[in-house]
Each structure stands twice: as C-alpha cells, then as structure tokens.
Amino acid sequence: MRIRRRDFLKATGGGAAGAVLRGRAWAQAKPIRIGYTLSATGPYSVGAGITQGTGYALWLEQVNAKGGLAVKGEGRRSVEYVTIDDRSEIETAVRFYEKLMGDDKVDLILPPWGTAMNFAVAPVANKYGYPMIGPTVSSNKLKELSFPYFYAILQQPDACMGAFTGFLKELKGQGKVSKVGVAYVNDLFGIEMHGSLTATLKDTGLEIVDTKSYPLGVKDLSPVLKGFKAAGADVFLGLTYPPDNILAASQAKEVDFNPPVYLAAVGTAFPFYRDRFKGAEGVSGIAGWNPKMKYPGAREYYEAHVKKHQKEPDRWASAFAYGSLQILERCVGEVGLDRKKIKEMLDATEFQTVAGPIKFAKGVNVTTPGMVGQWQKGEFEIIWPKALATAPAIIPKPAWA
C-alpha cells in the first residue's frame, strides 16, 4: 500500500529530498518559498500522497500558470516549494519545520499529513508565527490547546462521529441494525474518534457487542472481524487509516463478514478503494465532498485534478486540502505576505472554496457538518445528513464483489 517515493515526488513536483521545487523560473521578482513535509514512505504515505500531494502539485501548476501568486502591493510572484519526505516520522517532520521557519525563513508553510503529525508541528508554527491550515487533522483537543496560528479545515471528531451515530440511530429506528462492532487504530486519530463515538452512541439504543483497538501498521485483522461476526454485529464501524482500512475490507471478504452496514474512516472515500473492491458497492464512510456538490469551482477542480494526475481526487479531504490553498491564495492577495495579517484575515473571514464555505472560530472550521458517504455505482454519494444528501442510502450493503 505504499506510494513509491519517485511517484510521490513526481506528484508533488519535486526532485531529491530537501530540494527546492519550482513551478517556473521568473526573472522579475523573487519567488515565494512555501515549505512543508509529506510522507512518501511509511504508514502515512498512502493518505499523504492522495489527499495532499496531488492538490499541492495541482495548485502550484495553476498559480504559476497565471504568472505566480498575486501579492498585495507587489503584483504576481512565482511560487516554489521546499519539501522533503518525512518518512512518516514525527521527529523528522518537526526538525524540518524548525529548519524551514527558524533557519530558512520561508515565506509560508503548508502542513504535513495526519492528526499526529499536525499536532507535533503546530507548536512550531505557533512559535514562529506561521499560519498553518491543516486539511488532514481531526481532534477535539484543538479546542483545549493554545495553537492560535493553527487552523483545522476538516470536520472534527464530534462532528464526524455525530454523523455516524445519527445515521445509525435512524437505521436502528427502522429496525435495520442493532449491534455494532467497533475497531479503531491505536493512534491519536483513532483514539479521539473512538472517544467521540462512545459519547455520541449513548441513548441511541444500539448495542456495542465488541470493541477492539489495533496498532498502526497492523498486518492481520481477521481475528477482530471473526469476533464481530460471531457476536452477531450488523454494523462494522472502523475508525481506520488507509492501510488498515484496505486490510479490513480485504479480510472481511475472506472471512465472509458482510454486515448490513460496513462503515469505515480514512481511505473509504479514496477512488482506489472503490477500484480495489470492484466498486465497493454499499461500503460507507466519512465523507465531505463529491463533484456533484454545488460549490463554486468544485467540478472544475475535479476535472483539473483528473487531467493532471490521470486519477480522481478522493471524496473527503482532497477538496479541503485544495481549498486550504485557495484560502491562502486569497489571503496573500488581500493582505500580502505579512503572516500576522494573514492570521487576522483567517480569524475574521468566511471563505468560498471548492469544499464549500469555510469559517474558522478559534481555529476550527465551524461551517462544514459531519457527513456519511457510500459507494454507489462508482460515486461516493453523500447519504447523511439528509439535507446534503446526493443519494439515499443502500441498506443492507450488497455482497462483496
């Protein structure tokens, strides 16, 4: 499930580790340098390459094709990336962000991939006063901690798990489900999602027949799945990252575990998940976007992504990653590269993006609700909440193809 390092670097516009990545050379002004790390190797590499690397590369190409990034009072300046493969190692990422901001003094920064990585580098961004918009971090602890320069654009655990339980509660009322098996990755993301799930499942009437945690990089989930099957679970609820999500689905098919509701987290909305499981018909998961949604530029973003990368964006975080760059672009155009002014604009403005309207309150996006999606005939349809639904839910899930 690894993305090869050369493919990652190609997708993000790069060359050797630590190299400066350029869109085009412009003689008329000093380029704007934007620094970040992403995981080209290790357990985070699948998600990083799909949800952030492709969007970063697309935006760089597009903005430089326009003559560069518009900077208030300066006209347009070309953009170049300064990046390395952090190898899914938190310590490596933290060291490089310290270098980017403390030594190199890049103009702007972008975040790494994943909740744990973002939590590790957020204090560094705060220390040096660099606004950072995280499209792949989901944690309720953001409300408790003081990271005034960090912004979470994705839905947070309470919203995500509130959508899961709202959806399941309705199915319980219809007599379609009653028993839930919960599996979660023993990583900050999984632990927090599980905490929110436990709280929101109260008073739903649903019975949790079994709960299992497993380590990042797990190689065998068949005992967990067999246990859920033996306990009569009619809902599989996996709080997963991409590699373990793929593993769980593969082994669910092998052990003939096909509950009426199969609901998982990160990776479910990836098109390669659909392709890997021959359509993944009826599989549900965390959602937030698809090209049918009536947001300005959503369809154009989808088509540009396909044209550049010969593959579709995922149906959750990819649009938010690209949207975070749209937000940064607007800020620089209106207030320049003064990072304090960019922060002030982030705190006060509602932004229109391909992922819909975004407004931050105390660093958290408060406009995007939690959503549930489901693969239906090749599209990850929004099935909950009903006000945003692009299709009704298919229950029970069809047999694995």
Residue 203's pLDDT band, with cuts at 50, 70 and 90, is: confident
Model confidence band, residue 28 (pLDDT cutoffs 50, 70, 90): low
Q: Report the relative pairing of strands 69-71 and 75-77 from DSSP bridges.
A: antiparallel
C-alpha–C-alpha distance, residues 107 and 336, integer Å: 11
pLDDT at residue 226 greater than cutoff 60: yes
The residues pairing with 374 across neighbouring beta strands, listed in sequence order, are 284, 381
| Intervals of CATH 3.40.50.2300 along the chain | 5-156+293-365, 157-291+371-388
Assign domain 157-291+371-388 to its CATH superfamily.
Response regulator (3.40.50.2300)
The Cα 301–Cα 289 span in angstroms is: 12
Distance CA 238, CA 184 (A): 6
Of the listed ranges 94-98, 126-130, 201-205, 286-290, the one predicted with least confidence: 201-205
Residue 377, judged by CB atoms within 10 A of its CB (0-12, 13-18, 19+), counts as exposed
Q: Which residue has the tokens 């793929």?
A: 246
**pLDDT at site 91:** 98
Write the secondary structure of the chain as one string of H (helix), E (strand) and C (coil).
CCCCHHHHHHHCCCCCCCCEEECCCCCCCCCEEEEEEECCCCCCHHHHHHHHHHHHHHHHHHHHHCCCEEECCCEEECEEEEEEECCCCHHHHHHHHHHHHHHHCCCEECCCCCHHHHHHHHHHHHHHCCCEEECCCCCHHHHCCCCCCEEECCCCHHHHHHHHHHHHHHHHHCCCCCEEEEEEECCHHHHHHHHHHHHHCCCCCCEEEEEEEECCCCCCCHHHHHHHHHCCCCEEEEECCHHHHHHHHHHHHHCCCCCCEEEECCCCCCHHHHHHCCCCCCCEEEECCCCCCCCCCHHHHHHHHHHHHCCCCCCCHHHHHHHHHHHHHHHHHHHCCCHHHHHHHHHHCEEEECCEEEEEECCEECCCCCEEEEEECCEEEEEECHHHCCCCCCCCCCCCC
Domain covering 5-156+293-365, topology: Rossmann fold (3.40.50)
Q: Output the six-digit token pair for 294.
A: 């009536």
Residue 392: CA count within 13 A, CB half-sphere: 5
Task: Return the pLDDT at 218.
Answer: 96
Q: What is the pLDDT of residue 164?
A: 97
Q: pLDDT by residue (tens digit) across 35-60?
A: 999 999 999 999 999 999 999 999 99
The pLDDT tens digits for 283-338 are 999 999 999 999 999 999 999 999 999 999 999 999 999 999 999 999 999 999 99
Burial 174-196 (b: 16+ CB within 10 A, else e): eebbbbbbbbbbebbbbbbbbeb
